[in-house]
């Protein structure tokens, strides 16, 4: 019994010592976790998320590109030092509500970077989520210009904003001289905000959007038909189409039925159309027949070796579980580079001591009975540091140079200008914010000084709708249109230029005659009506006339309006048809000569003043000479005669002296000769 007792005591002491040793050497965090913070200083796997619509034109190209980028990063020994990137995909199903729910579920996986979405409307909602959780959002498809970093600091666009695309369209319109366009767009954040920027860009070119025709993606063809019938009754024949690639082709299908793809019409499509066509290996001939003569823009990516190798792999990549059309387009390049951007930034982030840790957000608490599990959403503590690291990245990707400017836009935005004709598309030039329109690739111009003068803008020839190479006029007289409103100053003076008249047109004058002569030279009729400006009691304010033309209260103004700098900033002037300077227009009258013509230069008042001055000088001379000169004395009559005689005598005496001096000079010359 004693031995058993000793053994029992020994075993108890041994267990106590082993327990103390276990607690000393085992990490304390395994037992004492507060639940507020978790960290991993040397992770083996890093989660990144992706949000986009899988079954779509853009999603079909994006998914294979993302999976290929993840495989390339994980198989490369030169990045992340063996750390595995894990991609978590979520389908937004092209719905803002579903996209938000998927984003919240994605954030429960403690991701450090989110890639997507392709929809600008969903990006607006998700940006609020990533702002709260400090997770950088790399969007390869949300091109809405209003997605600005000031409101959404964790939103980073890895493609080019529609801000640049709309300025490119404005330059194309200005190149061909069109001043009014009709915008057809999808009624969401992507469509409305893009067209708003187009309006601002056109205003700088003294052009405008004459009508905005919006529709919903869910609208049937009958509503689209009504919309196009309405715009076809208007004056402009230039249409800018800014819609989604999945439903935008319905616009041209209806336009073809309405005979709006014929001669005289101009159709300009944003990059949605090339994205749709590029995603099809072989476009149906009936589809191409709908698009003959359309001009479209496509995001430009340089033809580098990286891009060529990626495109050569595409046939093998597109079979990796793609549920969409699966064709290649430019969004695949931006999605692929987004993964590499995240990988490069994470490598620098970890090398600089960044910590992949998360903490609970006290604002996110589950209320009684809720099933949203908001407490599972945690804040990425290194989000701000990783965001700054992303902004510092600079490398060459398959889409070109990946580098951000101060406004967090990719540098060197550029677009291909395409013309659809025959069985495919033809590049007619390029646009970049460095040189604007050009027929040489943008990267070849970056080494030269920027040149945006009008003489340097060039595009190749275009085959317009109706199989014509002649540039369309871009407008017609609308069936329900109003005549041009011509403002005419109702002057008080110089009525030879322009004045009120009792004739049917209501005005007359030299300026009116010039305007009517110009109208008669046009090959078509231009209905117009003259509208007097001013009350006729005093000359009107010409600056106000010009201002009201700029404000579209009048379509034009005719009159003696001087071309000055402040007016040229808001309106266009014709070439001057009169010489500059002080010019008076007066009727020519035949006048007879008269012996009293010498009196005409002076008025009666002037002759009276001259005579008064003559007498005044004579009196002054008499006063000065009367006391010392005996010739100024005598009877009053003699003194008066002396005053007149001396006055004339002085003038004649002076003339005689000068004449004698000349004669003497001649005489001396002859003697010396």
The number of residues making up the chain comes to: 673
* 80 DSSP assignment: G
Least confident of 261-265, 481-485, 586-590: 586-590
Rg over CA atoms, the chain: 43
pLDDT-based confidence at residue 325 (cuts at 50, 70, 90) = low
Q: For residues 159 and 138, what is the distance between their CA atoms, to the nearest angstrom?
A: 9
Contact 145, 189 (CB under 8 A): no
Q: State pLDDT tens for residues 339-372.
A: 999 999 999 999 998 888 988 877 766 555 555 5
Structure confidence at residue 347 (pLDDT): 93
Q: State pLDDT tens for residues 142-171.
A: 999 999 888 999 999 999 999 999 999 999
Q: Where are the alpha helices (DSSP H) in 291-329?
A: 305-317
Structure confidence at residue 596 (pLDDT): 75
Q: Which of 49, 48, 52, 47 is nearest to 331 (CA)?
A: 52
Structure confidence at residue 644 (pLDDT): 72
* 535 DSSP assignment: -
Q: Does residue 59 register a pLDDT over 50?
A: yes
Q: State pLDDT tens for residues 246-275.
A: 888 999 999 999 999 999 999 999 999 999
Q: In this predicted model, which residue has the larger pLDDT, 546 or 639?
A: 546
Mean pLDDT of 17-42: 40
Q: Does residue 651 register a pLDDT over 50?
A: no
What are the angstrom distances between the C-alpha of 425 and each of 54, 283, 291, 421?
A: 27, 11, 10, 6
Phi first, then psi, for residue 380 (nearest 5°) are: -80, 110
Residue that the structure tokens 């579980």 belong to: 321
Q: Quick count: other Cβ atoms within 10 Å of Cβ 573?
A: 13
Q: For residues 357 and 344, what is the distance between their CA atoms, to the nearest angstrom?
A: 19
Q: Where are the alpha helices (DSSP H) in 540-635?
A: 542-550, 565-568, 604-625
Mean pLDDT, the chain, integer: 83
Q: Which residues, 6+ apart, have CB-to-CB distance to 381 below 8 Å?
A: 37, 134, 355, 357, 358, 359
Residue that the structure tokens 């005669």 belong to: 641
Mean pLDDT of 295-318: 89
Q: Does residue 333 register a pLDDT over 90?
A: yes
Q: State pLDDT tens for residues 447-456.
A: 888 888 888 8
Mean pLDDT of 653-660: 37
What are the angstrom distances between the C-alpha of 434 and each of 163, 172, 342, 411, 437?
A: 15, 15, 28, 10, 9
Structure confidence at residue 632 (pLDDT): 75
Q: Does residue 301 register a pLDDT over 70?
A: yes
pLDDT-based confidence at residue 48 (cuts at 50, 70, 90) = very high
Residue 82 burial (CB < 10 Å; 0-12/13-18/19+)?
A: exposed
Residue that the structure tokens 């070849």 belong to: 444
Mean pLDDT of 133-141: 93
Q: Which residues, 6+ apart, have CB-to-CB distance to 210 below 8 Å?
A: 180, 181, 182, 234, 235, 236
Q: Which residues, 6+ apart, have CB-to-CB distance to 61 below 8 Å?
A: 279, 324, 325, 326, 327, 328, 329, 331, 332, 335
Structure confidence at residue 318 (pLDDT): 59
Q: Which residues, 6+ apart, have CB-to-CB distance to 413 below 8 Å?
A: 160, 161, 164, 432, 433
């Amino acid at each position: 019994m004693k031995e058993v007792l000793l053994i029992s005591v020994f075993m108890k002491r041994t267990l106590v010592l082993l327990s103390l040793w276990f607690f000393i050497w085992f990490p304390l965090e395994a037992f004492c976790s507060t639940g507020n913070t978790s960290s991993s200083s040397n992770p083996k796997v890093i989660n990144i998320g992706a949000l986009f619509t899988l079954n779509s034109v853009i999603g079909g190209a994006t998914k294979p590109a993302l999976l290929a980028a993840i495989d390339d990063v994980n198989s490369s020994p030169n990045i992340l030092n063996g750390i595995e990137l894990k991609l978590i995909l979520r389908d937004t199903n092209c719905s803002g509500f579903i996209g938000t729910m998927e984003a919240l579920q994605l954030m429960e996986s403690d991701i450090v970077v989110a890639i997507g979405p392709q929809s600008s409307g969903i990006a607006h909602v998700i940006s609020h989520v990533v702002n709260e959780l400090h997770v950088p959002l790399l969007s390869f498809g949300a091109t809405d210009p209003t997605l600005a970093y000031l409101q959404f600091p964790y939103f980073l666009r890895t493609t080019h904003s529609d801000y640049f695309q709309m300025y490119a369209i404005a330059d194309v319109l200005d190149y061909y001289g069109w001043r009014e366009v009709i915008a057809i767009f999808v009624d969401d954040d992507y469509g409305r905000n893009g067209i708003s920027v187009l309006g601002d860009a056109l205003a700088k070119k003294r052009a405008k959007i004459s009508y905005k025709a919006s529709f919903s993606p869910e609208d049937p063809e009958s509503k689209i038909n009504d919309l196009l019938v309405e715009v076809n009754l208007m004056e402009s024949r230039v249409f800018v189409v800014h819609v989604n690639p999945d439903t935008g082709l319905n616009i041209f299908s209806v336009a073809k039925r309405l005979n709006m793809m014929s001669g005289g019409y101009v159709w300009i499509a944003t990059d949605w159309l090339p994205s749709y066509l590029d995603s099809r290996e072989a476009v149906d001939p009936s589809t191409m027949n709908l698009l003959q003569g359309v001009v479209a823009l496509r995001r430009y990516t340089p033809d580098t070796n990286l891009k060529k190798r990626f495109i050569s792999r595409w046939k093998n990549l597109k079979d990796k579980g793609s549920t969409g059309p699966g064709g290649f387009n430019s969004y695949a390049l931006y999605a692929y580079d987004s993964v590499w951007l995240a990988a490069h930034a994470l490598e620098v982030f970890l090398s600089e001591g960044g910590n992949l840790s998360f903490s609970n957000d006290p604002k996110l608490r589950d209320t009684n009975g809720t099933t949203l599990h908001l407490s599972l959403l945690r804040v990425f503590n290194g989000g701000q540091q990783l965001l700054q690291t992303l902004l510092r990245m600079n490398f060459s990707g398959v889409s070109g140079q990946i580098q951000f400017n101060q406004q967090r836009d990719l540098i060197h935005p550029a677009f291909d200008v395409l013309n659809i004709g025959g069985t495919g598309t033809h590049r007619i030039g390029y646009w970049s914010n460095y040189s604007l329109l050009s027929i040489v690739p943008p990267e070849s111009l970056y080494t030269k000084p920027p040149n945006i003068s009008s003489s340097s803008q060039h595009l190749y020839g275009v085959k317009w709708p109706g199989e014509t190479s002649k540039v369309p006029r871009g407008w017609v007289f609308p069936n329900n249109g109003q005549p041009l409103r011509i403002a005419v100053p109702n002057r008080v003076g110089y009525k030879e230029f322009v004045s009120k008249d009792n004739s049917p047109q209501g005005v007359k004058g030299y300026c009116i005659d010039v305007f009517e002569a110009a109208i008669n030279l046009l090959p078509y009729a231009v209905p117009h009506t003259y509208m007097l400006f001013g009350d006729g009691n005093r000359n009107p304010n010409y600056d106000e006339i010009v201002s009201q033309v700029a404000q579209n209260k009048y379509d034009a103004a005719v009159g003696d309006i001087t071309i000055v700098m402040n007016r040229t900033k808001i309106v266009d002037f014709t070439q001057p048809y009169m010489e500059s300077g002080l010019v008076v227009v007066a009727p020519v009258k035949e006048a007879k000569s008269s012996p009293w013509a010498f009196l005409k230069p002076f008025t009666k008042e002037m002759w009276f003043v001259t005579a008064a001055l003559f007498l005044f000088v004579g009196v002054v001379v008499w006063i000065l000479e009367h006391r010392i000169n005996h010739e100024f004395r005598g009877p009053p009559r003699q003194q008066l005669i002396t005053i007149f005689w001396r006055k004339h005598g002085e003038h004649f005496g002076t003339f005689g002296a000068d004449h004698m001096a000349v004669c003497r000079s001649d005489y001396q010359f002859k003697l010396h000769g």
